[in-house]
Structure 1
Amino acid sequence: MEPVFASMPYMGISEELNIDAASLRKYLAIGIVVFVLIVLSFSSSFIVGPGHRGVLVTMGRVSSTFAPEGFGLKAPFITTVVPMSVRQQTGSIKTECFSSDLQQVNIDLRVLYRIPESAVVRIYQDYSGDPFDSLVQPRVNEAIKEVTALQSAESIVKKREDIKTKAFALIKQKVGNVLVIEDVVVQNISLSKELESAIEAKMVQEQEAAKAKFVQQKAEIEAKTVVIRAKGEAQSIQIRGEALKKSPALIQLQIVEKWNGVSPLVVGGGAGGGGSNIILPLGKFHAEQ
């Protein structure tokens, strides 16, 4: 009797290896295809975040249009998307300049600016995507120096807001065709210690002089008021005297107007009527009785 396993077909080790190798190649091919598809899907799509615009660069060539916010498609591997912020940005600048009287002035300021959509591609091409160092800062320094060169050091310190207004207008002229300049904030203006002390002393003297002038003007006004009042009273007395001199009956009229209805009491001054008489109000005499 033959063994049972003798009737079963024999499979050699080499055949088993061939089957395993074929399965491995199959799975490997499937894995490669899946990987390629995943890579293609990621390389052919992009997402532009909020507040940004995407500049499309294909094999070193910049597209004339930009990609808006959100999801988008592009040519895989050969096209890259560079995000550009269109939000308001802030840059700090320290400027050393000279006044009209050749005094060194140090000014610290902040510039608030943003890139408009229409200039996104141009900014990327001309300024490598960062306009602050290559555009904003040089133009701001230039504008500040032009403004301060027309003012004395003392005027720069006293007229800080005026310096800011003039510099802001000039900066907008210089970069307004590319960027939107929202505002310029002057944070600090500093001079040499000696010059600051001299300006401070001069300001104190000017304040004291203004105070003294005010006191003097006040005293002059008060004196003029007293003179005017005295002249008015003198003129009033003079006019009244002239009127009484020209019209004696006016004296009698004033006596009648002031009479209280009580007959006056006449008191003789001496025997025989040789003395002077004194007229007393009768009402006053009765009251004393």
Structure 2
Amino acid sequence: MQRLLSGVGVLGVGLATVGAAINSTLYNVDGGERAVLFDRFRGVLPTVSGEGTHFLIPWVQLPIIYSVRSTPRSIPVTTGSKDLQNVNITLRILFRPHEQKLPWLYANIGQDYDEKILPSITTEVLKAVVAQFDASELITQREVVSEKVQELLMERGNSFGLILDDISITHLTFGREFTEAVEMKQVAQQEAERARFLVEKAEQVKQANIIRSEGDSIAAKMLAEAFVKAGDGLIELRRLEAAEEIATALSQSRNVAYLPGSGQNLLLSIPPN
């Protein structure tokens, strides 16, 4: 019985050893990943392993796993414009490695290729593009700037085995001096607009006064001509109209009483209490 149990134990140990040996010859590549094999005798192998389970030589070959999904990264850069203004730009990049160039990437740059490549080429391209535009043009021609940056950056990324799926400018500001100068310019423009409005208003008032004076002059001339033609009759008419207005105003006053007389109206003024 003891011999049987001993034999079973030895068999179990043997199976475990065989299972461990088999597992050491396999490696898995998950979805969205690719693998590069490093051989201790031959170096980095040129083949790239896709998704699934693959074989390797234990203790001789080592799998290096890379993600080939698009990965976002924001890179801030400070550079100068054509008119020597400081410009702060943040570029957002969606990148992934070219699958066929993964062996070259691992052999020459390493697994942290994005840390070594992207900041360098982004700074280089942004400095070259921004230096072609004035500070005001960077704002008014932002689409043109973005297209130039995208074209040059994709070309530079491709030379390092990177595929840039999307490039966009997410942040664009200028130095404190330029910002203050722009604000002062806006204030000056607003003051100029206000001054222009006041000048136009004064001109309109002047024109209105001229027209009013001309109207009064014409009215006075017509009134004088009417006096000459009508004689004392027009003067008497104006006197009666004035007397009627005075009588109406007095009759509506609380301190004046109306007394009937012999054919004439009498207005009695009563002093206030």
The two structures have a TM-score, normalised by structure 1, of 0.59
Mapping for residues 30-45 of structure 1, pairs under 5 Å: 30-45=11-26
| Matching residue of 1:84 | 66
Q: CA contact under 8 A between 1:139 and 1:171: conserved in structure 2?
A: yes
| Matching residue of 1:143 | 125
Alignment match of 1:188 (pick from 153, 166, 171): 171
Mapping for residues 193-212 of structure 1, pairs under 5 Å: 193-202=176-185
Q: Percent identity?
A: 27
Taking a change above 3 Å as real, the CA distance of residues 204 and 157 of structure 1, as seen in their structure-2 partners, is farther
How far residue 24 of structure 1 moved from its aligned partner, in angstroms, is 7.2
Distance 2:104 2:184 in 1: 52
* 1:127 partner letter: I
Q: CA contact under 8 A between 1:148 and 1:156: conserved in structure 2?
A: yes
Alignment match of 2:48 (pick from 51, 56, 66): 66
Between structure 1 and structure 2, the one with the greater Rg is: 1
How far residue 200 of structure 1 moved from its aligned partner, in angstroms, is 4.4
Cα-to-partner distance string for 1:114-133 (whole Å, 9 max, x where unaligned) = 21222121122222023211
| Matching residue of 1:53 | 34
Taking a change above 3 Å as real, the CA distance of residues 117 and 206 of structure 1, as seen in their structure-2 partners, is farther
* 2:181 partner letter: A
Alignment match of 1:168 (pick from 150, 154, 162): 150
Taking a change above 3 Å as real, the CA distance of residues 194 and 40 of structure 1, as seen in their structure-2 partners, is same
Distance 1:130 1:41 in 2: 31
How far residue 159 of structure 1 moved from its aligned partner, in angstroms, is 2.4
1:94 aligns with 2:90: no
Aligned residues: 193
| Matching residue of 2:235 | none
| Matching residue of 1:113 | 95
Taking a change above 3 Å as real, the CA distance of residues 195 and 78 of structure 1, as seen in their structure-2 partners, is same
Q: CA contact under 8 A between 1:44 and 1:77: conserved in structure 2?
A: no
Cα-to-partner distance string for 1:65-105 (whole Å, 9 max, x where unaligned) = 01111111111232221111222121110101111222221
* 2:93 partner letter: V
Distance 2:148 2:183 in 1: 24
Taking a change above 3 Å as real, the CA distance of residues 209 and 86 of structure 1, as seen in their structure-2 partners, is farther
Q: CA contact under 8 A between 1:154 and 1:199: conserved in structure 2?
A: no
| Matching residue of 1:133 | 115
Distance 1:88 1:31 in 2: 46
State the Cα RMSD in Å: 2.7
Distance 2:10 2:137 in 1: 79
- 5+ unaligned residues in a row in structure 2: which ranges? 197-273
Distance 2:122 2:131 in 1: 14
* 1:163 partner letter: V
The two structures have a TM-score, normalised by structure 2, of 0.62
SS at match of 1:184: strand
Q: CA contact under 8 A between 1:123 and 1:130: conserved in structure 2?
A: no
SS at match of 1:194: helix
Q: CA contact under 8 A between 2:48 and 2:100: conserved in structure 1?
A: no
Distance 2:44 2:190 in 1: 63
Cα-to-partner distance string for 1:101-153 (whole Å, 9 max, x where unaligned) = 22221111111122122212112222202321111220011000111122222
Distance 2:64 2:112 in 1: 12
